[in-house]
A and B are shown apart, each in its own frame.
Chain A
Amino acid sequence: MGIIVNGTDVALPDDPRVSLLDLLRERLRLSGTKKGCDQGACGACTVLVDGQRILSCLALAVQYEGRSVTTIEGLGDEGALHPLQQAFIEHDGFQCGYCTPGQICSAVGMIEELRRGVPSHVTADLAATAIPHSRDELRERMSGNLCRCGAHNGIMDAIAETYGAETHAEAAE
């Protein structure tokens, strides 16, 4: 068994030193996932594994045998963008674009954590079953993704428009 990347079964590397990030970029030529710091500090390499966001630079590919990896290439395509990709365009959620795939994969994983009720550093009530999709929550939960162009406000606008609205809808019910 190999690793399932965007729905396709691919072989594990023979060398256990190969990171999941290098497997994606260098061997599978899926260059959407970016190498920023390569030491777990920037979030540019964020991908989804079985729906959970992780850092592919700190992941040895051999550890992910049988797991399902989704990269930015698996989220959307030209002419069929993921809603979050479209929102990033509309809200200027990037300038150079290097951190963008990681930001988007991270946000997709983030919203599942929020819906599941995973607490964050800014969650006031740990006992609450529903956590508000507030700006503070979204910002804290995206703090593992750095943007050196400083597009964070646009990024937050894009995420809030795509996912924040559901809170208001829920609150109104």
Chain B
Amino acid sequence: MTPFSYVRAADADAAVRHSGVDAKYLGGGTNLVDLMRETIERPGTLVDVTGLSAEITETDGGGLLIGAAVRNTALAEHGLVRRRYPMLARAIVAGASPQIRNMATVAGNILQRTRCAYFYDRAGSRCNKREPGQGCDAIDGFNRMHAILGASPACVATHPSDMCVALAALDATVHLSGADGERRLPFADLHRLPGDEPDRDTVLQPGDLITAVELPPLPIAARSTYRKVRDRSSYAFALVSVAAALSVENGTVTDVRLALGGVAHKPWRASKAEQALCGQPATEATFRAAAAAELAAAEPLRDNAFKVELAQRTMVAVLGELAEVEVLGGGA
């Protein structure tokens, strides 16, 4: 680990003041400390922001304001999250291990970096995310875990978070503090597709600090869930995951929120599928057509073509579960 100085920020203003060109904000450390040990991240200063708000408060309209330093466990166990946004609680407890969820903060979870093995392999692999311009060894390498949507010739990494898939589906807003004061950003606009700048995971500028995440009041989310498909039944990153909320009236889909994980450089809001579902009968045929519409643009790599079908079947299975419609031969 490269030497660094450590400061603890009492509040957001102090944190932003301490941030410099080579500073990083430190939450629970579950990803950043590991990356520093691998010398992939080499900050000169760590600004500990775990002293920032760890409160979850109800907003006027019936939404939730979640402080950036709220631990993952605390968010998943919160009564209003479990009742009003069950997909979020489910997504969080599908991720990592209990010990890591006890440490990890909400903002840290959002800003965690890809687990692409080539990104981590500083000694032996080329990676445009780690060293811009170096090349990508994943594109022609072992890319079973990699992206099928929105990738670029420069990067095929995926965003590893489960929690973020739910936040993408829930129309969350991110509260930011930075050199120019405070501002808000739709969560969907926070993470980037790789393009030719895969070293930039998000649109945040140096010094920008996430201070809170706001969930809007969203009655549809009370009937929502999260399903994660992975190589073992616990403590593994997603091959594919689906966050979904569905409203059906008289057999017709009246509203839906849908997002995918494990398929792209960012949590993937499935807008095309949402459009294909709204106003249509809540049947397996509709669900299949919607899933197919979302995955039509998929560009699989050597080892991950299975994800294209897996993502569609998982979407159909989850929609069937929420609509209480038998799908996939009832075996879902």
Residues of chain B within 8 A (CB-CB) of A121 are 90, 93-94, 234
Please give the distance in Å from A33's CB to the nearest CB on chain B: 13
B29 at interface by CB-CB < 8 Å: yes
**Cβ–Cβ contact A141 & B76, under 8 A:** no
CA distance A53 to B71 in the complex (A): 13
**Cβ–Cβ contact A55 & B100, under 8 A:** yes
How many chain A residues have a CB neighbour from B under 8 Å? Answer: 36
B82 is contacted by which of A40, A59, A113, A119 (Cβ under 8 Å)?
A119
**Chain B 226-263: CB-based contact to A (< 8 A → 1; otherwise 0):** 00000000110000000000000000000000000000
Residues of chain A within 8 A (CB-CB) of B4 are 16-17
**Cβ–Cβ contact A118 & B77, under 8 A:** yes
Please give the distance in Å from B64's CB to the nearest CB on chain A: 15
B33 is contacted by which of A19, A43, A144 (Cβ under 8 Å)?
A19
Chain B interface size band reads 20 to 34
Most buried by A among B34, B76, B97, B103: B97
Given contacts A16-B5, A121-B94, A126-B90, contact A60 B77 (CB under 8 A): no
A62 at interface by CB-CB < 8 Å: yes
A116 at interface by CB-CB < 8 Å: yes
Residues of chain B within 8 A (CB-CB) of A40 are 30, 34, 100
**Chain A 57-73: CB-based contact to B (< 8 A → 1; otherwise 0):** 01110110000000000
B50 at interface by CB-CB < 8 Å: yes
B205 at interface by CB-CB < 8 Å: no
**Cβ–Cβ contact A144 & B97, under 8 A:** yes
**Cβ–Cβ contact B77 & A55, under 8 A:** no
CA distance A57 to B33 in the complex (A): 9
Residues of chain A within 8 A (CB-CB) of B94 are 121
**Cβ–Cβ contact B102 & A54, under 8 A:** yes
A106 at interface by CB-CB < 8 Å: yes
Please give the distance in Å from A51's CB to the nearest CB on chain B: 10
Instruction: With A46-B99, A109-B102, A144-B97 given, name 14 new contacts (CB 8 A).
Output: A16-B4, A16-B5, A58-B29, A58-B34, A60-B29, A62-B6, A109-B98, A109-B99, A110-B98, A116-B77, A118-B73, A118-B77, A123-B93, A144-B100
14 of the cross-chain contacts (CB-CB < 8 Å) are A15-B3, A16-B4, A38-B37, A39-B34, A43-B99, A53-B102, A55-B30, A58-B103, A109-B102, A110-B98, A126-B83, A126-B89, A144-B99, A144-B235
Which residues of B pack against A, CB within 8 Å? 1, 3-6, 26, 28-30, 33-34, 37, 46, 48, 50, 73, 76-77, 82-83, 86, 89-90, 93-94, 96-100, 102-103, 234-235
